[in-house]
Structure 1
Amino acid sequence: MATRRVPEGPAPDPTVQRLRVRYAKRGRMRFTSTRDFQRALERAVRRAGLPVAFSAGFHPHPKISYANAAPTGTASEAEYVEIALTRRVDPARVAPVLDEALPDGLDVVEVQDADDLPGALADRLQGSLWALRLRADGTPVDTGAVDAAVAALLAAEELLVTRMMKKGPRELDVRAAVLGMTVAADQVPGVPAEPGDVVLLVTLRHTVPTVRPEEVWTALGLVGGTPLPRPLSTRLRQGPLVGDQVSDSLGG
Structure 2
Amino acid sequence: MSRQQPEQQAPPVQRLRIRYAKRGRLRFTSHRDVSRAIERAVVRARIPMAYSSGFHPHPRISYAGASPTGAASEAEYVELGLAEVREPASIAAELDAVLPEGLDVVATVDAAESLAGSLSDLLTASHWLIDLGDTPRADVEAGVAAFLATESIVVERMTKKGMRAFDCRAAVVRLAVTEDGGLDLLLEHTVPAVRPDDVLTGLREAGGLDVPSTVLLTRVAQGVLDRAAGTLGDPLATR
TM range (shorter): over 0.9
Amino acid aligned to 2:146: A
Mapped to 1, the partners of 2:211 and 2:160 lie a distance apart of: 28
Alignment length, in residue pairs?
A: 234
Mapped to 1, the partners of 2:130 and 2:76 lie a distance apart of: 17
Deviations 1:110-137, CA, capped at 9 Å, x for gaps: 010011112211101010000011112x
1:1-252 counterparts in 2 under 5 A? 3=2, 5-7=4-6, 10-118=7-115, 119-136=117-134, 141-185=135-179, 198-229=181-212, 230-242=214-226, 243=228, 244-251=230-237, 252=239
Give the C-alpha shift of residue 231 in structure 1. 1.8
Mapped to 1, the partners of 2:30 and 2:103 lie a distance apart of: 12
Deviations 1:133-189, CA, capped at 9 Å, x for gaps: 1112xxxx211110011011111110111011222211121100000011122xxxx
Amino acid aligned to 1:146: V
Tell me which stretches of 4 or more aligned residues in structure 1 moved more than 2 Å.
Answer: 2-5, 10-14, 247-252
Deviations 1:180-200, CA, capped at 9 Å, x for gaps: 011122xxxxxxxxxxx5221
Amino acid aligned to 1:100: A
Mapped to 1, the partners of 2:225 and 2:40 lie a distance apart of: 33
Mapped to 1, the partners of 2:234 and 2:186 lie a distance apart of: 13
Mapped to 2, the partners of 1:134 and 1:198 lie a distance apart of: 7
Give the C-alpha shift of residue 91 in structure 1. 0.3
Give the C-alpha shift of residue 249 in structure 1. 4.4
Fraction of identical pairs, as percent = 52
Give the C-alpha shift of residue 250 in structure 1. 3.5
Mapped to 2, the partners of 1:164 and 1:170 lie a distance apart of: 6
Q: What 5-or-longer segments of structure 1 have no aligned partner?
A: 186-196
SS in 2 for 1:240: strand
Aligned Cα root-mean-square deviation (Å)? 1.5
Deviations 1:220-248, CA, capped at 9 Å, x for gaps: 11122241224210000000012322224
> Quick check: 1:240–1:250 contact (8 Å CA) kept in 2?
no
Q: What 5-or-longer segments of structure 2 have no aligned partner?
A: none
> Quick check: 2:18–2:78 contact (8 Å CA) kept in 1?
yes
Mapped to 2, the partners of 1:4 and 1:155 lie a distance apart of: 64
Mapped to 2, the partners of 1:60 and 1:249 lie a distance apart of: 29
